[in-house]
């Protein structure tokens, strides 16, 4: 892996299993719909995002900073060209650059409303249309959207929340042993990044191959009628808005199976997928006590959980 | 460059039959003035509005994105052409290009209001209505084009922010989409979408013949439409329905008739039925019905008041509501109405301008009891439709009326901030910041030739000469939020009779509203000897809620200290360009008994703090929590000193808050 020597290898990240899995699933199915990572600062969120692009050399991470202006995001008139040549030319923005890649928004909940609007507009049809400053232009804009946020600093607009296929909570490692391992590896990496990366190269390679295999397997997976019915039942039971949740649930379970090297979806895939797809869609009523943690969802689903075993 | 994504076939959408119907009707009849689909995310709104465009392959599709600016919308001078030729060349904007074609808007609810309004009213000039400011400005600039008539397909998620702005009653048809709760239907939705994603080409192919059928049916209905007539009775009923629904003006009546005609044509019939009218009402009325409590001053006379002669006079006209071309129907009908009235009844000229289609339709026999029965029919239709529920937001009064006029809007255009959406360019005032290069270049363009000729004083290597007078800056529109600071009395007196419980309930219900509006919230509690900032202004309403839940109560009442603390917390927002409108909500019984100064008078101190808050121009609301038979009314006096809006807690409890109290605490 050339040229990305300063990137911490994905395979060396300790813990944060859910986040890692969520990110990898988005690599298995690039059209899955992105992931929202919620958690406090210093939980390796940014490290992990940079690391997955490093894992897949054909992917790049386009960073959308919170202070980005709308022009920068959607694209604008190429001023230099206009002044030099006296004619209009479109200067693509971040949405163009991110097409086919990863669009990473750190602290996405602090994003300016105008920028969120731009993201929503592009997401509606996967096309960014620009009609401003005398420029009329549209280009495809499909990307893996990865957002991170600290929920203490405010929530995300429900409409944008709904666009994320997955959401995971990350916390600092509680276990002393793991914490020590985190620090040990970090120090080793900082002391000699090249050597550190070399050490993880075999594992990185293995992971990359696993993803490639999963991508091929995914094409052979067809969801059964029973499983589709189960996802619909989950959506109805959990009273989520719209039908995106059902579809994303199915797609996530399919990617999960493929990542495990199977073409058959098993009950665990479905349940695990539900835990990543559903929680953030159930958060629109702000004052209900306690976020929807996995236990609550398990309770709500109740009998459906045993049903899925029969379905798969 | 324009791209066309693989679209999901319109006819493959499951479970949104009403939305599909509305879109198809508009495809048949552009005179229906737009379809607005409203619903939660993920209910196929965008899929539908883009899908329907494929059924009209002969028309161009113009997608208006949120980033559109006024110049592109209205058209403007072509900078490039001006540089080359030295002449001003006008490039028509999107609205002009859309004339006779299709416009789609994906996120109508978050498009800047003035731009969305422009899109919604683009076709209205035809009807001879007083031109909106922007319309007039634009029609001057748009060479030769007075209006644009097009099919408008728009989608919105209303609960993201405000419920449904009034301007959307410009949209002809409205459908609210719901998430399906039917297992089989949902399974089918997911199954089809996955199939489409895996192989869009063959999926589209599978629906090809159905798509072709729909196209043919639209074409057939378009041909049949001019021949569909409405009989007088139905016309009258339509007018009564509009009246009953409390719709202002004639728009609703006309749209009802148009929708009924279109439904009839779509069904392949030439005679309309009352079922068609009921169906039409379901599309036309829900978003333009007024609340029953709202006074309707400008409403015309009710049909029952009409003199008999006028009704018989219009008998014959009523049967032929002039179908004509697709566009301009509204104006035709109005001018026809005027003409008829002029011809037959001179003294009625001025009144006839306000004649509702009810007068046009007339009643065949004019018998009172027949009218009665029609009215009850109208009522039944309206009741069956139901009204879109509007959330009543809390209103704050500002001590300075002028300021209020400026800040009353949630969308505020301003020069000089680099945040927000670039909506138009303007002459710079003050220091140059945030230059609008596009507009600057357009200004400079026509002078290039002259400047080039006089280039001795210029650098000849330059391709473009820009002078200070050309420079324009960007005007940006910021979605301003409100920063709500709750200043809550947590003293011992609040514990009596479970007042604190009620107060918490009231604050919670306000927080709910704040969440919906994406406001910032903060919380200050004062009790015993001090006031404590429990939560600085933040967007996390959930955090505010958590703090409130655990708020302890007891001790004395340091009211003045609490108010002072509130003022301090809000003051930075007044000076800074925060994009936030601060407002303070004080909840207290006003019985101050602790002062900041050792020998001070607690009440006087509180009044002085209140006056300072008023002087700072902060919008305030006092919620009086005083309870019991003997009331001292301190909180009211406090509200007066603060120039605040005043509510008693009981008043607020009457409505939604009462429910909130029960369910949340």
Lowest mean pLDDT among A217-226, B191-200, B450-459: B450-459
Residue predicted with more confidence, B83 or B343 = B83
- Write the DSSP assignment of B197-226 as a string of letters: HH-HHHHHHHTHHHHHHHHHHHHHHHHHGG
Kindly determine whether residue A140 and residue B5, on different chains, have CB atoms separated by under 8 Å. yes
On whether residue B425 sits in a domain, the answer given is yes
Kindly determine whether residue A121 and residue B67, on different chains, have CB atoms separated by under 8 Å. yes
Q: Is the pLDDT of residue B440 over 70?
A: yes
Whether B461 contacts B500, CB under 8 Å: no
The contacts found for B573-578 with CB under 8 angstroms, 24 or more apart, are B573/B483, B573/B537, B574/B616, B574/B617, B574/B618, B577/B416, B577/B417, B578/B483
What whole-number distance in Å separates Cα of residue B202 and Cα of residue B199? 6
CB atoms within 10 A of CB B595: 18
Residue predicted with more confidence, A232 or B317 = A232
Tokens in use for B583?
A: 């407002």
For residue B662, give every residue at least 6 positions away whose Cβ sits within 8 Å of its Cβ, in sequence order, or none: B505
Does B628 share its domain with B592?
A: yes
Whether B20 contacts A157, CB under 8 Å: no
pLDDT tens profile B238-278: 888 888 887 777 888 899 999 999 999 999 988 888 888 88
| Chain position carrying tokens 């790049």 | A60
Does B253 share its domain with B216?
A: no
How wide is the angle at C-alpha A129 spanned by C-alphas A127 and A132, nearest 5°? 165
Q: Which residues of B touch A157 (CB under 8 A)?
A: 160, 518
Q: What are phi and psi of B176, to 5 degrees?
A: -95, 125
Whether B379 contacts B240, CB under 8 Å: no
Task: Give the chain A residue nearest B8 (alpha carbons).
Answer: A125
**Whether B464 contacts chain A with CB within 8 A:** yes
Does B546 share its domain with B429?
A: no
Q: A238 to chain B nearest CA, in Å? A: 11
On whether residue B399 sits in a domain, the answer given is no
Does B526 share its domain with B648?
A: yes
| CA dihedral for A250, A253, A258, A259, sign (positive or negative) | positive
Rounded mean pLDDT of B476-500?
Answer: 76
CA distances to A70, A163, B126, B149, B361 from B325, in Å: 42, 42, 13, 11, 21
Predicted confidence band of residue B210 (pLDDT cuts 50, 70, 90): very high
Tokens in use for B577?
A: 């360009």
CATH number of the domain where residue B630 is located? 3.40.50.410
Q: Which residues of A touch B515 (CB under 8 A)?
A: 286
pLDDT tens profile B332-382: 444 444 433 333 333 333 333 333 333 333 334 444 444 455 577 777 777
pLDDT reported for residue B652: 63
- Write the DSSP assignment of B533-577 as a string of letters: EEEEEES-HHHHHHHHHT----S---HHHHHHHHHHHHHHHHHTT
Out of B171, B190, B225, a domain closes at B225
CB burial of B280-304 (b: ≥16 within 10 Å; e: otherwise) equals bbbbbbbbbbbeeeeeeeeebeebe
Q: Is the pLDDT of residue B162 over 70?
A: no
Tokens in use for B42?
A: 């993920």
Identify which of A22-26, B447-451, B554-558 has the greatest average pLDDT: A22-26
Q: Is the pLDDT of residue B514 over 70?
A: no
Question: Which CATH superfamily includes the segment(s) A225-311?
Answer: Magnesium chelatase subunit I, C-Terminal domain (1.10.8.80)
- Nearest partner of B439 among B107, B179, B177, B74, judged by Cα: B74
pLDDT reported for residue B462: 67
pLDDT reported for residue B619: 82
Out of B195, B225, B255, a domain closes at B225
Kindly determine whether residue B512 and residue A287, on different chains, have CB atoms separated by under 8 Å. yes
- Nearest partner of B444 among B424, B466, B472, B462, judged by Cα: B466
Going by the DSSP 8-state scheme, the letter that residue B612 receives in this structure is H
Predicted confidence band of residue B293 (pLDDT cuts 50, 70, 90): very low
What whole-number distance in Å separates Cα of residue B593 and Cα of residue A289? 36
Q: B615 to chain A nearest CA, in Å? A: 31
State the residue range of the domain holding B592: 480-664
Kindly determine whether residue B183 and residue A233, on different chains, have CB atoms separated by under 8 Å. yes
Does B374 share its domain with B419?
A: no
| Chain position carrying tokens 């002072």 | B564
What whole-number distance in Å separates Cα of residue A150 and Cα of residue A42? 11
pLDDT reported for residue B420: 67
What whole-number distance in Å separates Cα of residue B301 and Cα of residue B313? 18
On whether residue B465 sits in a domain, the answer given is yes
> Which H or E run includes B622?
strand B619-624
CA distances to A93, A127, A139, B82 from A76, in Å: 7, 16, 13, 20
Going by the DSSP 8-state scheme, the letter that residue B9 receives in this structure is P
Q: Which of A31, A90, A233 sits opposite B197 (nearest CB)?
A: A31
For residue A217, give every residue at least 6 positions away whose Cβ sits within 8 Å of its Cβ, in sequence order, or none: A257, A258, A261, A262, A263
Whether B152 contacts B108, CB under 8 Å: no
**Whether B73 contacts chain A with CB within 8 A:** yes
Q: Is the pLDDT of residue B316 over 50?
A: no
Number of domain units in chain B: 4
Bridge partners, B532 (sequence order): B525
Q: Identify the CATH number of the domain defined by range A10-170.
A: 3.40.50.300
Does B539 share its domain with B660?
A: yes
pLDDT reported for residue B515: 65
pLDDT reported for residue B661: 29
Q: Which of B41, B419, B439 sits opposite A162 (nearest CB)?
A: B41
Whether B102 contacts B123, CB under 8 Å: no
Predicted confidence band of residue B591 (pLDDT cuts 50, 70, 90): confident
Helices (H), B267-356: 274-284, 308-313, 315-318, 329-344, 349-352
What whole-number distance in Å separates Cα of residue B623 and Cα of residue B159? 27
pLDDT reported for residue B203: 95
Q: What is the mean pLDDT of chain B?
A: 73
Q: Could you list the active site residues of A? A: 244
Q: Answer yes or no: is the ipTM higher than 0.90.
A: no
Assign B621 to helix, strand or coil: strand
CB atoms within 10 A of CB A227: 23
pLDDT reported for residue B163: 54
| Chain position carrying tokens 């009908």 | B333
- Nearest partner of A248 among A32, A37, A35, A34, judged by Cα: A32
pLDDT reported for residue B478: 64
What whole-number distance in Å separates Cα of residue A164 and Cα of residue B75? 37
Whether A8 contacts A189, CB under 8 Å: yes
Does B207 share its domain with B316?
A: no
Tokens in use for A187?
A: 């120090």
* pTM of the complete model beyond 0.90: no
How wide is the angle at C-alpha A96 spanned by C-alphas A94 and A98, nearest 5°? 65
Whether A235 contacts A249, CB under 8 Å: yes
Q: Is the pLDDT of residue B39 over 60?
A: yes
**β B61-63/B35-38 pair status:** unpaired
Whether A29 contacts A251, CB under 8 Å: yes
Tokens in use for A245?
A: 């949740």
Mutation choice for B interface testing from A235, A236, A290, A308 by most B CBs within 10 A: A235
Kindly determine whether residue B186 and residue A232, on different chains, have CB atoms separated by under 8 Å. yes
What whole-number distance in Å separates Cα of residue A303 and Cα of residue A300? 9
Rounded mean pLDDT of B201-220?
Answer: 95
pLDDT reported for residue B80: 67
**β B580-588/B481-489 pair status:** parallel
Q: Is the pLDDT of residue B313 over 60?
A: no
pLDDT reported for residue A292: 62
Q: Which of A129, A133, A232 sits opposite B438 (nearest CB)?
A: A133
What whole-number distance in Å separates Cα of residue B616 and Cα of residue B400? 10
Going by the DSSP 8-state scheme, the letter that residue B397 receives in this structure is B
CATH number of the domain where residue B72 is located? 3.40.50.300
What whole-number distance in Å separates Cα of residue A33 and Cα of residue A250? 12
pLDDT tens profile B485-496: 889 888 887 766
Whether A135 contacts B84, CB under 8 Å: no
Q: Which residues of B touch A231 (CB under 8 A)?
A: 187, 190
Q: Is the pLDDT of residue B481 over 70?
A: no
CB atoms within 10 A of CB A61: 19
| CA dihedral for A194, A196, A198, A202, sign (positive or negative) | negative
Residue predicted with more confidence, A144 or B383 = A144
Does B88 share its domain with B151?
A: yes
Out of B385, B402, B432, a domain closes at B385
Q: Is the pLDDT of residue B517 over 90?
A: no
Predicted confidence band of residue B76 (pLDDT cuts 50, 70, 90): confident
**Among B residues 531-550, those touching chain A with beta carbons less than 8 Å apart:** 538-543, 545
What whole-number distance in Å separates Cα of residue A170 and Cα of residue B191? 32
The residue ranges of DSSP E strands in A150-303, in sequence order, are: 166-170
Assign B610 to helix, strand or coil: helix
Does B486 share its domain with B372?
A: no
Q: Which residues of B touch A126 (CB under 8 A)?
A: 5
Residue predicted with more confidence, B160 or B619 = B619
Does B189 share its domain with B282?
A: no
**Among B residues 320-379, those touching chain A with beta carbons less than 8 Å apart:** none
How wide is the angle at C-alpha A225 spanned by C-alphas A20 and B206, nearest 5°? 100
Q: Which of A31, A129, A233 sits opposite B63 (nearest CB)?
A: A129
Number of A/B CB contacts below 8 angstroms equals 221
Rounded mean pLDDT of B620-627?
Answer: 83
Q: What residues does each domain of chain A span?
A: 10-170, 225-311
Q: Is the pLDDT of residue B507 over 70?
A: yes
Does B631 share its domain with B592?
A: yes
Does B51 share its domain with B84?
A: yes
pLDDT tens profile B149-158: 899 999 988 7
What whole-number distance in Å separates Cα of residue B344 and Cα of residue B356? 17
pLDDT digits (tens), chain A, 312 positions: 444 568 999 999 988 899 999 999 999 999 999 999 998 877 788 889 999 988 988 999 999 998 888 888 999 878 777 766 767 788 899 999 999 999 999 999 888 888 898 898 888 888 999 988 778 889 999 999 999 998 877 778 878 888 999 999 888 777 888 889 989 999 999 999 999 999 999 999 999 999 999 999 999 998 888 899 989 988 888 888 888 999 999 999 999 999 999 999 998 899 899 999 998 887 555 444 445 677 777 777 777 777 766 665
What whole-number distance in Å separates Cα of residue B434 and Cα of residue B476? 10
pLDDT tens profile B213-235: 999 999 999 999 999 988 888 88
- Nearest partner of B280 among B359, B169, B381, judged by Cα: B381
């Amino acid at each position: 892996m050339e040229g990305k020597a300063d990137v911490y290898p994905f395979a060396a990240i300790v813990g944060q299993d859910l986040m890692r899995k969520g990110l990898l699933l988005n690599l298995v199915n690039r059209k899955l719909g992105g992931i929202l990572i919620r958690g406090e600062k210093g939980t390796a969120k940014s490290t992990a995002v940079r690391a997955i692009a490093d894992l897949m050399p054909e992917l790049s991470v386009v960073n959308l900073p919170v202070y980005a202006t709308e022009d920068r995001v959607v694209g604008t008139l190429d001023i230099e060209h206009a002044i030099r040549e006296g004619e209009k030319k479109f200067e693509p923005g971040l949405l163009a650059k991110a097409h086919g890649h990863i669009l990473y928004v750190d602290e996405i909940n602090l994003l300016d409303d105008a920028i969120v609007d731009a993201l929503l507009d592009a997401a509606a049809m996967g096309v960014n249309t620009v009609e401003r400053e005398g420029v009329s232009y549209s280009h495809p804009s499909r990307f893996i959207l990865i957002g991170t946020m600290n929920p203490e600093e405010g929530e995300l607009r429900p409409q944008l929340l709904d666009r994320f296929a997955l959401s995971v909570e990350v916390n600092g490692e509680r276990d002393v042993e793991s914490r020590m391992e985190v620090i040990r590896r970090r120090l080793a990496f900082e002391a000699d990044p090249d050597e550190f990366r070399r050490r993880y190269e075999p594992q990185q390679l293995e992971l990359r191959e696993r993803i490639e295999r999963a991508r091929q397997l995914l094409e052979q997976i067809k969801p059964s009628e029973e499983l589709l019915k189960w996802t619909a039942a989950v959506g109805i039971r959990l009273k989520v808005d719209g039908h995106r949740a059902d579809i994303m649930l199915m797609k996530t379970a399919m990617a999960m199976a493929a990542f495990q090297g199977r073409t058959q979806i098993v009950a665990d895939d479905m349940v695990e997928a539900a835990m990543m797809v559903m929680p953030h869609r159930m958060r629109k009523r702000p004052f209900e006590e306690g976020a929807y943690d996995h236990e609550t969802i398990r309770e709500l689903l109740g009998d459906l959980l045993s049903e899925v075993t029969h379905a798969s | 460059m324009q791209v066309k994504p693989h679209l999901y076939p319109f006819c493959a959408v499951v479970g949104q039959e009403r939305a599909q119907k509305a879109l198809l009707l508009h495809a048949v009849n552009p005179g229906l003035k737009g379809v607005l689909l409203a619903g939660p995310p993920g209910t196929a709104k965008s899929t539908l509005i883009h899908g329907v465009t494929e059924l009209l392959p002969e028309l161009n599709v113009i997608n208006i994105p949120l980033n559109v600016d006024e110049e592109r919308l209205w058209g403007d001078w072509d900078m490039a052409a001006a540089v080359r030729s030295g002449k001003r060349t006008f490039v028509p904007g999107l609205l002009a290009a859309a004339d006779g074609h299709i416009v789609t808007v994906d996120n109508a609810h978050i498009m800047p209001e003035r731009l969305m309004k422009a899109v919604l009213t683009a076709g209205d000039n035809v009807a001879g209505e007083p031109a909106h400011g922007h319309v007039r400005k634009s029609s001057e600039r748009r060479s030769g084009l007075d209006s644009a008539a097009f099919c408008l397909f728009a989608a919105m998620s209303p609960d993201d922010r405000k419920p449904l702005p009034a301007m959307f009653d410009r949209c002809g048809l409205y459908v609210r989409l719901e998430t399906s709760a039917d297992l089989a239907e949902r399974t089918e939705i997911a199954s089809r979408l996955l199939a489409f994603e895996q192989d869009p080409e063959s999926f589209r192919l599978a629906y090809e013949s159905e798509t072709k059928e729909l196209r043919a049916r639209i074409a057939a209905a378009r041909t049949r439409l001019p021949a569909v007539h409405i009989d007088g009775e139905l016309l009258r009923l339509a007018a009564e329905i509009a009246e009953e629904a409390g719709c202002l003006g004639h728009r609703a009546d006309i749209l009802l008739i148009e929708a009924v005609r279109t439904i009839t044509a779509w069904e392949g019939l030439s005679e309309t039925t009352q079922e068609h009218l009921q169906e039409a009402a379901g599309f036309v009325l829900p978003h333009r019905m007024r609340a029953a409590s709202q006074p309707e001053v400008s409403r015309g006379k009710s049909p029952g008041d009409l003199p008999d002669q006028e009704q018989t006079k219009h008998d014959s006209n009523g049967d032929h509501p002039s179908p004509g071309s697709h566009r301009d129907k509204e104006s035709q009908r109005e001018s026809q109405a005027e003409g008829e009235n002029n011809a037959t009844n001179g003294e009625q000229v001025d009144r006839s301008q306000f004649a509702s289609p009810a007068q046009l339709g007339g009643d065949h026999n004019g018998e009172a009891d027949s009218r009665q029965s029609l009215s009850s029919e109208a009522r039944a239709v309206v009741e069956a439709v139901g009204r879109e529920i509007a959330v009543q937001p809390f209103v704050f009064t500002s001590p300075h009326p002028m300021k209020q006029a400026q800040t009353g809007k949630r969308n505020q255009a301003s020069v000089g901030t680099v945040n927000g959406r670039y909506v138009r360019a303007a002459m710079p005032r003050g220091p140059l910041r945030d230059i609008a290069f596009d507009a600057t270049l357009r200004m400079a363009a026509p002078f290039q030739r002259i400047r080039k000729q006089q280039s001795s004083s210029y650098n000849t290597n330059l391709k473009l000469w820009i002078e200070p007078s050309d420079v324009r800056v960007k005007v940006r529109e910021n979605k301003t939020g409100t920063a709500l600071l709750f200043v809550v009395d947590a003293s011992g007196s609040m514990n009596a009779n479970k007042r604190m419980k009620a107060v918490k309930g009231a604050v919670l219900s306000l927080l709910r509203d704040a969440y919906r509006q994406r406001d910032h919230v903060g919380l200050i509690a004062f009790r015993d000897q001090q006031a404590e900032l429990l939560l600085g202004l933040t967007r996390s309403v959930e955090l505010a809620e958590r703090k409130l839940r655990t708020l302890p109560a007891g001790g004395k009442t340091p009211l003045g200290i609490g108010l002072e603390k509130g003022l301090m917390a809000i003051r930075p927002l007044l000076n800074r360009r925060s994009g936030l409108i601060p407002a303070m909500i004080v909840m207290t019984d006003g019985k101050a008994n602790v002062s900041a100064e050792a020998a001070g008078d607690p009440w006087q101190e509180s009044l002085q703090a209140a006056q300072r808050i008023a002087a700072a121009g902060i919008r305030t609301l006092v919620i009086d929590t005083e309870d019991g038979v003997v009331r001292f009314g301190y909180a009211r006096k406090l509200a007066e000193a603060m120039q605040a809006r005043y509510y008693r807690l009981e008043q607020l409890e009457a409505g939604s808050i009462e429910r909130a109290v029960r369910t949340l605490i």
